[in-house]
Chains A and B, each alone.
Chain A
Amino acid sequence: MGDDRSSSGAASQAGELPARLGAGISDVAIQVSCMVGVLAVMIGFTAIKEPNFLSLYQMQTTGREVAILSMFAIGQGMVIIAGGIDLSVGSVLCFVGTVAVYLMNATGLPVGVIMALVIAFAVGVGVLHGVLVCYLNLQPFIVTLCSLLVWRSLARWLTDDSTTGFQASEQPFFAWLGNGRIGPVPVSVILVAVVVLVALFIMRGTVHGRYLYAIGYNLEAARFSGVRVNALRIFTYAFCGLLTGIAGLVDASNVSAVAPSSAGTLYELYGITAAVLGGCALSGGQGSIIGIVVGAAILKVLYKALLFLGVSSLLTDAVTGVVLVGAVLTDALIKRRRAAG
Chain B
Amino acid sequence: MASAPTTTLGDQTGGGSANGPLLRMEGVSKRFPGVQALDGVSLEVHAGEVLGLVGENGAGKSTLIKVLAGIYPPEAGQIFWQGRRVDIDGVQTSLDLGIGVIHQELNLADNISIAENIYLGRQPRRLGWLGVVDHRRLHAMAQEQLGKLGLNVASGTRLGRLSIGQRQLVEIAKALSLDAKLLVLDEPTSSLSSSEAATLFGVIRLMKRRGVGVLYVSHRLAEVVELADRVQILRDGEVAGLLSGGEIEHDRMVHLMVGRDINRYYQHEQRPSAGNVVLRVRNVVLANAPSKTGGAGESGTDTGASGKEGMDEATGPGLSFELRAGEIVGFAGLVGAGRSELARAVFGIDPIRSGTIELAGREVRIRSPRSAIRYGLGLVPEDRKQQGLILEMAVTPNISLAGLCDYGRFGLLDRRRELEVARHGQRELSIRATSLAQKAQTLSGGNQQKVVLARWLALRPRVLILDEPTRGVDVACKSEIYTLMSQLAERGVAIWMISSEMEELLAMSDRVVVMHEGRIAGELVGERISEESIMMLAVGGEWVGHG
| Chain A residues with a Cβ under 8 A of chain B | 1, 3, 5-8, 11-12, 14-15, 17, 19-24, 204-211, 213-214, 217-218, 220-228, 285
The answer on a CB contact under 8 Å between A224 and B388 is: yes
Within 8 Å of chain A (Cβ to Cβ): is B372?
yes
Please report the C-alpha to C-alpha distance between residue A180 and residue B386 in the assembled complex, in whole angstroms. 51
Q: Chain A interface: which of B38-46, B66-74, B258-266, B432-440?
A: B432-440
A226–B370 CB distance below 8 A: yes
Report the Cα distance A6→B397, complex, angstroms. 20
Which of B386, B404, B432 touches A5 (beta carbons < 8 Å)?
A: B432
Given contacts A21-B397, A210-B404, A214-B401, contact A3 B390 (CB under 8 A): no
Q: A227: which of B401, B411, B435 is its contact (CB, 8 Å)? A: B401
Give the interface of B toward A (CB within 8 A): 349, 368-370, 372-373, 379, 381, 386-394, 396-397, 401-402, 404-405, 407-408, 411-413, 415, 418, 423, 432-440, 442, 455
Q: Which residues of B contact A210 (CB under 8 A)?
A: 397, 404, 413
**Contact status A20-B435, CB under 8 Å:** no
Neighbouring A residues of B405 by C-beta, 8 Å:
207, 211, 226-227
A24 to B418, CA, bound (A): 16
Which residues in A have their C-beta under 8 angstroms from that of B404?
207, 210-211
Least distance between A28 CB and chain B CB atoms (Å): 13
A-B CB contact pairs (8 Å), 13 listed: A7-B434, A20-B394, A20-B396, A22-B397, A22-B440, A209-B413, A214-B390, A221-B387, A221-B389, A222-B401, A225-B455, A226-B405, A227-B369
Which residue of chain A has its CB nearest to the CB of B377? Answer: A226
Residues of A within 8 A of B438 (CB): 11, 14-15
Contacts of B372 in A (CB 8 A): 226
CB neighbours of B389 from chain A (8 A): 218, 221
Chain B contacts of A285 at CB under 8 A?
390, 392
Whether the Cβ atoms of B393 and A214 lie closer than 8 Å is yes
**In the complex, A23→B439 CA distance in Å?**
8
CB of A207 within 8 A of CB of B408, answer yes
What residues on B are CB-neighbors of A204 within 8 Å?
413
Q: Which of these, B391, B407, B432, contacts A218 with CB under 8 Å?
A: B391
Min CB gap B467→A, angstroms = 10
Q: Which residues of B contact A214 (CB under 8 A)?
A: 390, 393, 397, 401
A208-B370 Cα distance, complex, nearest whole Å: 14
Set of chain A residues within 8 Å of B386, measured between Cβ atoms: 218, 220-221
Contact A224 B379 (CB under 8 A): yes
In whole angstroms, how far apart are the Cα atoms of A248 and B379 in the complex? 45
Look across to chain A and name the residue whose beta carbon is closest to the beta carbon of B459.
A226
B379–chain A nearest beta-carbon distance, Å = 6
Partner of A14, one of B349, B393, B423, B435: B435
Cα A108 to Cα B370 with chains together (Å): 48
6 smallest CB-CB distances across A and B, nearest first, come from A15-B435, A22-B393, A22-B394, A225-B402, A226-B369, A226-B370
A205-B413 CB under 8 A given contacts A22-B393, A217-B391, A226-B372: yes
Pairwise interchain contact B369-A22, C-beta atoms closer than 8 A: no
Given A3-B434, A12-B435, 9 extra CB contacts under 8 A: A11-B434, A11-B435, A20-B394, A21-B393, A205-B412, A207-B404, A214-B401, A217-B390, A223-B349
Alpha-carbon gap, A5 to B431, bound state (A): 12
CB distance from B365 to the nearest CB of A (A): 16
Which of these, B370, B418, B437, contacts A22 with CB under 8 Å? B437
CA distance A140 to B404 in the complex (A): 28
Contacts of B412 in A (CB 8 A): 205-207
Q: What is the chain B residue whose CB lies nearest that of A204?
A: B413
- Nearest CB in chain A to that of B370: its residue: A226
A22 touches B388 (CB 8 A): no
Report the minimal beta-carbon distance from A284 to chain B, rounded to whole angstroms: 10
Q: Kindly list chain A residues whose C-beta atoms are within 8 Å of the C-beta of B397.
A: 20-22, 210, 214
> Are B388's CB and A228's CB within 8 A?
no
Cα distance A14–B368 in the bound complex, in angstroms: 36
Contacts of A19 in B (CB 8 A): 394, 437
Chain B residues whose C-beta falls within 8 Å of the C-beta of A227 in the assembled complex: 369-370, 401-402, 405
- Residues on A with beta carbons closer than 8 Å to the beta carbon of B381: 224
Residue of A nearest to B439 (CB): A22
Contact A220 B435 (CB under 8 A): no
Whether the pair A17, B434 counts as a contact (CB closer than 8 A) is no
Q: Complex formed: what's the CA distance from A128 to B373 in Å? A: 29
- Residues from chain B with a CB closer than 8 A to the CB of A206 are 411-413
B434: chain A residues within 8 A (beta carbon)? 3, 5-8, 11-12, 15
In the bound complex, do residue B391 and residue A223 qualify as a contact, i.e. CB atoms below 8 Å apart? no
Shortest Cβ distance from residue A158 to the other chain B in the assembled complex, whole angstroms: 39
Using Cβ atoms and an 8 Å threshold, which residues of chain A touch B387?
A: 220-221, 224
Question: Which residue of B397, B402, B432 has the most chain A CB atoms within 10 A of its CB atom?
Answer: B397
CA distance A228 to B405 in the complex (A): 10
Which of chain A's residues has its CB closest to B381's CB? A224
Q: By the criterion CB–CB under 8 Å, are B393 and A17 in contact?
A: no
Q: Which residue of B lies closest to A283 (CB)?
A: B392
Q: Give chain B residues whose Cβ lies under 8 Å from the Cβ of A209.
A: 413
Given A217-B392, A224-B349, verify A24-B437 contact (CB < 8 Å): yes
Measured between C-beta atoms, what is the minimum distance from B141 to chain A in Å? 41
In the complex with contacts A23-B392, A210-B413, A228-B435 CB distance below 8 A: no
